[in-house]
Amino acid sequence: MNKRQINKKDRVWRWIAAAAVMLLLAGCSREYGEAEKEDTLTPMDENLIVVGVSQVGSESVWRTANTMSLQKVFTKENGYFMIFNNARQKQENQIKAIRSFISQRVDYIVFSPIMEDGWETVLREAKEADIPVILVDRKVKLQDQSLYTCWVGSDFKNEGRMAGEALAYCLRKQGRQRENIHIVLLQGTQGATATIGRAEGFQEIAQKHENWLILEQADGEFTTAKGQEEMERLLHRYKDIDVVVSQNDDMTFGALAAIEEAGKTAGEDGDILVISFDAVKGALKLVEEGKITADIECNPNQGEYVDQIIRKMEEGEAVAKLHFVPERVFVKENVAEDLGEDD
């Protein structure tokens, strides 16, 4: 009998322990996520796989889609009981949630780490409790890679490269290969895998173009409000911005508002080229209108992959350490096909 099968047998006892902890937590459970408030453990649930999910927050449209993709698979009909926690963009909340999952003796911990550093201690606690950890979306920086089982997400560095290539393509089309191109970058949450990878990938391509000058890398925290605020500041400071590379669509929405407010226009026929990431529906409409020149897709539908991984583990099968989700680049020429899809 393999380890995960023994775990199944152990599940009834886990439920009793979990129910006791839930009762203890009941008085202070308000700070936990909706699913936790609505659902209560019942003895009928003893065959369900208990998954503790710690999500970064609800900072972006992409994040909401990612949460929905997890909620879609972790249902009772699919054999799961999900305890969901929204960390509201705070690492301390995630650490607290993971500790609570450990004390509830969940079967799996699924979490998207807000930043890469600072996880060694709590993940060691999970390992000591023999609870597998599946990372989604972002990664962790660890000395000991055995502290998590596997990761599902995007190749962020490649996304950054694709953004650079898309810009190069557009500038070539415009015949601006020799012109000095002034670029500002709107970065996401500092220390997050998406921020680091997208910046590295874009820089790699930028270094190949001597005429690309990066004026500033501003911190837009992946939100519309901060994206707008930073873009307003940048437009005030630099009179000659040619390109904004914004690391997510939410910041792009803010940046576009700031560009408009400053009396400028976005797009290939306008004053400023806008390159964005995520490719959420609202942004793809702007690609179609020509306001966003290229949008690098980031696939939020990671739930189905996590489900497959857990099912394999339940059968005692080995799983790969890294799972990359497929992604594309959207420009005006190909955006129509995706806008036709009904997701």
Binding site for ligand GYE (CB under 6 A): 59-60, 62-63, 137-138, 192, 194, 222, 248, 250, 277-278, 298
- The CB-of-193 to ligand GYE minimum distance in angstroms stands at 7
For every residue of 51-112, DSSP letters joined together read: EEEEE--S-SHHHHHHHHHHHHHSSTTTTEEEEEEE-TT-HHHHHHHHHHHHHTT-SEEEE-
For every residue of 152-192, DSSP letters joined together read: EE--HHHHHHHHHHHHHHHHHHTT-SSS-EEEEEEE-STT-
Task: Work out whether strand 294-297 and strand 329-331 pair parallel, antiparallel, or are unpaired.
Answer: antiparallel
Q: Which is nearer to ligand GYE, 250 or 307 (CB)?
A: 250
Helix (H, G, I), strand (E, B) or coil at 47: helix
Name the nearest CA neighbour of 156 among 206, 204, 201: 201
Across-strand partners of 204? Answer: none
CA–CA distance, 239 with 258 (Å, rounded to integer):
14
- The CB-of-250 to ligand GYE minimum distance in angstroms stands at 6
- The CB-of-123 to ligand GYE minimum distance in angstroms stands at 19
Q: Which is nearer to ligand GYE, 65 or 241 (CB)?
A: 65
Name the nearest CA neighbour of 280 among 310, 250, 309: 250
- The CB-of-248 to ligand GYE minimum distance in angstroms stands at 4
Q: Which is nearer to ligand GYE, 185 or 192 (CB)?
A: 192
Q: Which is nearer to ligand GYE, 74 or 222 (CB)?
A: 222
Query: Which two tokens mark 288?
Result: 């179609």
- The CB-of-330 to ligand GYE minimum distance in angstroms stands at 14
Q: Which is nearer to ligand GYE, 100 or 252 (CB)?
A: 252
Q: Which is nearer to ligand GYE, 166 or 181 (CB)?
A: 166
Q: Which is nearer to ligand GYE, 138 or 182 (CB)?
A: 138
- The CB-of-28 to ligand GYE minimum distance in angstroms stands at 28
Element holding 6 (H helix, E strand): helix 3-25
Name the nearest CA neighbour of 132 among 205, 60, 49: 49
Q: Are 126 and 147 spatial neighbours (Cβ–Cβ below 8 Å)? A: yes
- The CB-of-239 to ligand GYE minimum distance in angstroms stands at 29
Q: Which is nearer to ligand GYE, 104 or 189 (CB)?
A: 189
Q: Are 278 and 298 spatial neighbours (Cβ–Cβ below 8 Å)? A: yes
Element holding 245 (H helix, E strand): strand 243-246
- The CB-of-201 to ligand GYE minimum distance in angstroms stands at 13
